Structure 1
């Protein structure tokens, strides 16, 4: 479950990570999230991670 995400429940996404001592869900914030983007018609010269990032 930790490696297969992100996960969706209905239309809402959520992210799982390994528990650590001192974790407080009220003070934690998420600063990054993996996303999937479709770019139909993107020219081949732009098919490089350095360009898309």
Structure 2
């Protein structure tokens, strides 16, 4: 069960009664309603919508052309930590069911420069 509070200025506070639903909403996006992307963030105590600017967001990052031998928890976690705050490894990536790209969920700070590529085994791989 969820409880939604309209906080005005296009902000909504959502209470989840189930931790699994909360994790799903936070980590399994991106989410869209009527063609508009939603930014889902953890609650910050003493949040003031009048002074709030979106600074950190959780994003799914794709790393194409990564050798499948590197689709392991430790290596992908290191890559994610170099990009931002690592949150999750995509299930299809972790069970090696997709070979075209690895996918990880990372919280990035929009005030910092985005990491466009990483160096792997002497090659530069783009981050999408």
TM-score range, shorter chain: 0.5 to 0.7
When the two chains are superposed, the root-mean-square deviation of aligned CA atoms in Å is 2.9
Tell me the TM-score normalised to structure 1 length: 0.52
- Contact 2:41 2:57 (8 Å CA) reproduced: no
Q: Hey, which of these two has a bigger chunk of helix by percent?
A: 2
Structure 1 residue 45: deviation in Å? 6.3
Counterpart position of 1:51: 79
**Any unmatched runs of 5+ in structure 2?**
3-13, 15-21, 83-128
**1:30-41 alignment to 2 at 5 Å?**
30-41=54-65
Aligned residues: 52
Select which of 7, 11, 14 maps to 2:39: 14
Which of structure 1's runs of 4+ aligned residues deviate more than 3 A?
16-20, 44-47
